[in-house]
Amino acid sequence: MRRLLCSAVVVATLLAGGCGIPDESDVTIVDDGPAVGISVGGGDEPPVQPRREDSDEPKTLVGNYLQAAAGDPETASARVKAFLAPDEAERFPSGNDIKVVRETEPSLHNPGEAEVKITYQVLGTLRANGVYEPVVPADPVGYDLRVGPVNGRPGQFILDAPQTMMITDVAFAAFYTPRTIYWWNTANTGLVPDLRYMPLSVPTVQQPTTIMGWLTGSPASWLTDTVNQLPQGTQLTENVPAISNDTLTISLNAQAVPQGADARALERLRQQLQWSIRPLVPRTIEIKIGHDEPVRTDDGDYLDTNAAYRLADDPERFALYGGVIRRLRVSPHATDPIPVIKQAANKNITSAALSSSATRAYAAVVTGSGAAARLRVAQATLGEQADIEPVGSLSGNLGTPVWAQTPDGDDPTAAVGLITMGGVIYSFDASGANARRVEWQGSPGTVTALSVAPDGHRIALVSGGRLFRAALSTSGDQITLGDPERVQPPDLKTVTAVAWNSETSLAVAGLRPNNRYAVLDVTIDGTLATIRLSDIGAERVTYLTAYPLRPVNPERLAPEWYVAGGDAWEVLSEPVRLVPENLTDVTAQPELNATAPFFLD
């Protein structure tokens, strides 16, 4: 009996407690940890950003303060607040926009006093998405920043500062690098560049993630009507991992390619992406949409989608000599005939524009002068020539024509050219149909110079001595110009001529405050100027042309020519005059100068 009881207890205990999944167990080591796989070297060390503790000297502290916001936009506010006294930091408005200012005078500080006076001019606003928006220049303002200690905390603090994040243009240049991202134009025929500024503090491995963040956001406001955004709701679902095995993997949510999207949408996305992440050039792009299988593309073609890539390294150069288009001797194909225009029609020309696509060439010439001036156009297959047709409803004070869009197809009406007549912009096509006035929102001034970017959708123009940029919208049957934004090239009080010299920069000629003319290369938002020629005399520059650089080798300087006082000059380390000897098939005539140089673009 007792045995029975005992064994029953034993069995019950065994069954109840001995088996089943235990409540707790010891730690079991399964395996060694994974070996370190991808190791991305730090490589490029970002510039060191000064901190508040670095200096107690008021002027230096203020100088450091004016660099604090530069860098990662999400933590910019925290960096700025670290400089501020706690109660001031509490009042400091949140927001990620940073004002870029130029200190027009060095900061002033009387020893022993708390105030540091800064005088600055706001140049633009740097948004969190890297877009820099220039503002209409205003007069410099002064501000007294107060510097002092805070109870119980070591070091000096900024006790009073403007209620906005600001960095100097010097810090802007030091802590940011320009990056171009691309958007498809509304007709999905080509990419439109959009200039952004990336903090140098972003490690190389994070740049694709940052760029993807920009691409899933909105384009710069002035391009909104001209380009297609990614579909609404597109989001990066995870970081873009470092490139390994020459493969870049991008994961987007399902909205990136919505149901019923056109079949090339994913390919376009890849091309847009590949252009945007340049100079990173992984061989393989892997795009994962939602929970679909990733789509791999090895050595996918994308370069041609950017019109700027199709530009020549060494452009064909032309100039007018005595109303006739002549090739320059240094130009490639110097012995070839003039494209499109027949020998007989090549006369009495005052300005001309030649453009070519992959299969066709287009010509637009202004003949005659004064009231008799006419615009004539022609188009032909490459190597062929055609009669030039007059364009109706244009006469009188005509500017230099430019070709904005030159399609490959055999449809002359699809081409878009622009010309000013009496300071108003007109558009024309290659068929000789009547030119139409380009609608321009706001109050248009007199346009004196006009240049179209290689993508054909962005325009730089000069009106009333000021430089503007605007987007050209050709998607509807109407060709319209977006609201022009004023761009202030540094150090020029009057702008007289402009030309695109790369996909994101302009060559600008204008009058400096010392009343001398200069030629500058500025970015499309007016920052980061390179002075090409600082002083070319007091003679007004009436015409400027440049052949944009291809985006694949941006280190070079673009070929630029300007016309001042009737003479054409090439912009080199110093201006070099274009003399008739430089032209082919020309016998030099005294008192007759080569003028209006231009490129086959």
Partner 1 sequence: MRRVLRVVRRYWRVLVRRFDVWLAPARRAWRRSLQLRVVALTLVASSLLVGAFGWFIADRSAKILLSRAQDEVQISMRNKVAYAEQQLTVHPQARDPRLPSTFTLIVNQLADGDPSESGGSVVSIRAGKFPELPSMTSPNVATDELITPELIHDVADQEKVARQIVTARVNDRTTKYLATGSPVPTSFGHVELYYMVPLTTEDSAANQIRTTVLATGLALVVMLGVIAGLVTRLVVTPVRVAARTAQRLSAGLLDQRMKVDGEDDLALLAASFNQMAANLQRQIVRLEELSRLQRRFTSDVSHELRTPLTTVRMAADLIFAERDEFDPAVARSAELLQAELDRFESLLTDLLEISRFDAGFAALDAEHADLVPIVERVAERLAGLAERVGVQIELRLPDQPVIAEVDPRRVERVLRNLVGNAVEHGEAKPVRVTLESDDAAVAITVRDYGVGLKTGEERLVFNRFWRADPSRARQTGGTGLGLSISAEDARLHGGWLEAWGAPGEGAQFRLTLPVRSGDRLLSAPLPLIPRDRAPALPETPPETPPEAAEPKAEVV
Chain residues that interact with partner 1, rule: CB under 8 A: 1, 3-4, 7-8, 10-11, 14-15, 18-42, 72, 74-75, 203, 205-206, 209, 237-242, 244, 249
User: How many Å is the Cα radius of gyration of the chain?
Assistant: 31
Closer to partner 1 by Cβ: residue 177 or 530: 177
Q: List Cα–Cα distances, 281 to 181, 206, 391, 550, in angstroms.
A: 14, 15, 45, 16
State the Cα–Cα distance between residues 414 and 407, nearest whole angstrom: 7
593 φ, ψ to 5°?
Answer: -105, 150
Q: Which residues fall within 8 angstroms of residue 139, CB to CB, at 6 or more apart?
A: 121
Within 10 angstroms of residue 416's Cβ, the number of other Cβ atoms is: 22
DSSP 3-state assignment of 265?
Answer: helix
**Which residues are CB-neighbours of 411 under 8 A, at least 6 positions away?**
none
Query: Between the CA of residue 49 and those of 147, 201, 301, what are the distances in Å?
Result: 20, 9, 40
Q: How far is the CB of 66 from partner 1 (least distance, A)?
A: 21
**Phi first, then psi: what are they for 229, rounded to 5°?**
-80, 165
List CB contacts of 31: < 8 A, sequence separation 6 or more: none
* Angle in degrees, 0-180, between the axes of helices 207-216 and 265-276, rounded to the nearest 10: 130
Which residues does 83 contact at the CB level (< 8 Å), separation at least 6?
52, 61, 64, 65, 68, 157, 158, 161
Give the DSSP letter of residue 87.
Answer: H
Produce one character per residue of 430-457: b if its CB has 16 or more CB atoms within 10 Å, e if not: bebeebeebebeeebbebbbbbbbbbbb
Sign (positive or negative) of CA dihedral 374, 380, 383, 384: negative
Amino acid in position 430? A
Rounded to 10 deg, the angle between the 58-68 and 76-83 helix axes is 170
* Spatial separation of the C-alpha atoms in residues 192 and 127, rounded to whole Å: 20
How far is the first Cα of the chain from the last one, in angstroms, to the nearest whole number?
A: 110
CB of 124 to partner 1, least distance (A): 25
